[in-house]
Amino acid sequence: LQTFSYQAAALLMDSDMAILPSRTEGPLLKGFGACDTGLFESDAKQKCAAGELTIQAVLEQTMARHKEVTMAAISSLQDRMQVRFYNAVCMAEMLPADLTPYDFERKLMTRLEEYNRYPNFVTYLVPGDRNYFLPLEAFFGEAALPQWLSTLPELAGQQISSFCSGNCGTLSSKSFMLT
C-alpha cells in the first residue's frame, strides 16, 4: 500500500481467510514462491524464507500500519472450498483430514475476532457454504452485498459497518469511520 498514492483505499478479501492446519502456512507460502514476489519487507521476507510467515501476521501488520485503509472480508460461515482446501493440505502433509464445516465456522469466527481488534477491519458474513462472492452471479445472489460494497473505499467522515446474517457476536456490530 505504501507504493500507491490514494485519497481513499480499501483492501477486500473474498472468501479466503487462510484457515490452515498448524505449521503448514509458512511452508506453503515459501513453496508457492511468495517470498520472492517483492511483497514483503525484510523482516517478513526473512520469516517467509524460513517457512515461518503467516498470512495473518501479514494482514495484522498491514492493518496496524495503514489505519486509513479499510480492510474488509467477505465470507460464508461454512465455506466449502476452504474446508476442502484445509483437508487437502492435511492429506498432503500426512495429517488427519477431518475439518467439518462446523469446525471451520469456529476457526473462522476466532480468526475474525482477532482481526476485529483493528478499528479499520470490517466483515460481511453470510450463512451457508458458498465460496467467492465477487463473480457476477454470486455477487447479485446476496442481496445486501452490492450495497455494502458500494461504500468502499470510504472517504473522510464516511462509515462502514460489518454485516452478519446469522449469530456472529460482536462482529455484527462493528463499524469503522474514516477520519
Q: Among 69, 66, 86, which Cα is nearest to 16's?
A: 86
Burial of 115 (0-12, 13-18, 19+ CB in 10 A): buried
The grid coordinates of residue 171 equal 462482529
Alpha carbons within 13 A on the beta-carbon side of 3:
4
The whole-angstrom distance between residue 158's C-alpha and the CA centroid of its chain comes to 22
Report the chain's terminal Cα–Cα distance, integer Å: 18
Assess whether pLDDT exceeds 60 at residue 179.
Answer: no
- Indicate the pTM of the whole model: 0.85
Q: What is the pLDDT of residues 28-64, one digit of tens each?
A: 999 999 999 988 888 999 999 999 999 999 999 999 9
Q: What is the pLDDT of residues 135-166, one digit of tens each?
A: 766 556 666 788 888 888 877 788 888 888 77
What is the pLDDT at residue 121? 92
Assess whether pLDDT exceeds 90 at residue 87.
Answer: yes
